[in-house]
Structure 1
Amino acid sequence: MSRRLFDETHDDFRQSFRAFVRAEIVPHHDRWEEAGRVDKEMFRAAGDQGFLGMAVPEAYGGLGADDFRFHVVIIEELQRANVIGSGMCITLHNDVVLPYLLGAADEEQKRRWLPGFVSGETMGAIAMTEPGAGSDLAAVRTSAVRDGDDYVVNGAKTFITNGLNSDLVLTVVRTDPTEPHRGLSLLAVEDGTPGFERGRHLDKIGLRSQDTAELSFSDARVPAANLLGEPGSGFGTLMANLAQERLSLAVSGVAAARVALDWTLDYCREREAFGQPLTGFQNTKFVLAELSTAVDVTQVYVDDLVERHLRGEIDGVDAAKGKWWATELQKRVVDQCLQLHGGYGFMREYPIARAYLDTRIQTIYGGTTEIMKEIIGRTLGAAS
């Protein structure tokens, strides 16, 4: 389908990043899937070639290219190559972690951390989820108590992307135990901080090359100079940035659905049954027609969300709508495409099988579909 979202600059960027994926990720993806994490040399290579921190101002070593469409291109190319797990260290770093530093860090913090975010010397992560606190941030228990020039941090986090490889972890902590939301703050914890430990390397069914870990803090002393914003400003900062994270997941969802459909069209044209290609059967044609239409309609919707995001016009509700719709579509499309592959769809040598495993998390992380509907539903109000 024709899209109006990109211009020639984005098309050139796409070709460059596609070449990077082909050279630096695809040859190693299977090995990283087995290892459960990528080699950080790939991440640094992404920095060397200009694919990290594009929005960082030139004063801190970046390009000053604050254009979310570059992030869209990266996501689409990772899905196209079926290596989203290996590339997620890049997307999380750029789309999720970096905006917190750009928006909340002070001048000294920006000069300290942003050059490394651009070069790839510093990989970012964000630690929100706890064993007893997921989407409900008011339930966060990890504490940070001021002691002189430090905060003393105690608690645990789980399901943390880039949890093993990260160099700087933006950690949601409770600085005021009496305030459910206004008692939350963001504290940047650097690798090597005494009392900060990487826990279990979590064993996932999909996205296996994306390292996910538990983190623990036992009297970890973090300099007060690492606090982002004012004490108690964490909840507001999180709410302001979650919309882009969820929009990124919507972009990923429709991109994954489209590539799964492309694989399946190729397969059904080549695979024969009863003397004719699978595309000759009415059921196959009808399923493909439905999926193709659904993907195109969702693409238009998500592209419109991206355009509105560029103008600063989307809010958390818009992002929630896009996130749940596109990721549920992804789940449905990938499932039906696997069905059309028959027994071969169950074989890991086929990309649809690997995509099936990677897809299942999409309606869970970044806020479950149920939470997205709750966010939307709260704004609708009761009929008068």
Structure 2
Amino acid sequence: MNSRHQRDQAARWLLLQQLFGIGTHRAHLLCERYGDAAEVFSLTRGRLEEDAFFSPEERGRLLSPDFSQAEAEVLLAEQSGAVLLTPDSPEYPESLRNIHSMPMVLYAVGDLSLLNGHYPIAMVGSRSPNEYGRAAAKKLAGEVAALGGVVVSGLAIGTDALCHAAALEANGKTIAFLAAGLDFDYPRTNRALRKLIERFGLVLTEYSFGSPALGAHFPVRNRLIAGLSMATVVIQCRAHSGTMLTAGHALSQGRDLFAVPDSIFSAMDGANSLLAQGAEPALSGEQILLRYPEIYGYPLDAPNPPASSPAPPAAQKAVPAARREGTAPGQSAERQAISVSPREEAAPAPPAYLSGEQAKVYAALAAGPQPVDLLCERCGLAAGALLAILTQLELFGLVRLLPGRMVETVRRS
């Protein structure tokens, strides 16, 4: 970082992330209320106490902040050659400002210019694709990268690694999101690939140094893969998998969804399921990128783009009831909300990408805001299990937690 001010501001955002947690909607609300981290830490006791947004513990930590751990993390990032991106950084990606749970801190190694002004396309799929899935991943990722798109994925074994490698082999660009700290070598089999991405692309993570790749980190990470990208391409997966969760994030964030058609006899039935719900078939890299002529312009390397062409008809989104946000760059998702009387608005059907228990909890909230204790009784779930499900639904942008352990659905057009 270039100045003491930047280091101090990064430390403030890191402390807020430690205080509120990773993947929470409260970061977005905090920015809407107060603008930035410096403003939050300048709040007087009186203002903090009158704002029900903060819990008593949070008020105490904000009034007497301990920046030692955050400052050490900033120094460690500098020593490791990483850049800390926060919402007030000029390189912070605009596409992530408007998702339901914007990141407060991103650790970055590589080409920061890839975060804005490019054509990011997420490509995800099974960790154990068959021959057809491997061929499809290489074809689509290579074509998208060769035409000027940026392939975004999660550096997992299988489809993710194939897509990253194909993009680099096409002399294109790729972005990898990790589910661990930058110093955690996961997966080890992709060590050499990660080094290439750091050199010719970009590696990003929300997780601090020393954070291992825990199972709970992956669905939280997946919201960023979908959120950074203008479209998500599901190549091959099972109907109940992490890849389908990424597809759910794409839909809840208002992004386009493509899926590669697979055999009707394949056990990898997730992509065909998404196609049946209205996802657009992914047939080539050119077809995917030329889906956006009027919004993003044609890639520079696209073959013979017409001088003028009407925009393709909007793809029918899978799960129309899914929440839409982030579609207008620079516009707050809260400002896009349509104010509708609860009596006039029909209760939305649970999105098809939810699991059985997620759908049950979402449906139980149709009557309006409810306390967590009552939801436990209505859904027959222990408090810990219910809170885990509510966290997942919050990541999808379908519910929000209110003061007093209350929960309500988020209903937007």
Same fold at TM > 0.5? no
TM-score w.r.t. the length of structure 1 is 0.24
TM-score w.r.t. the length of structure 2 is 0.22
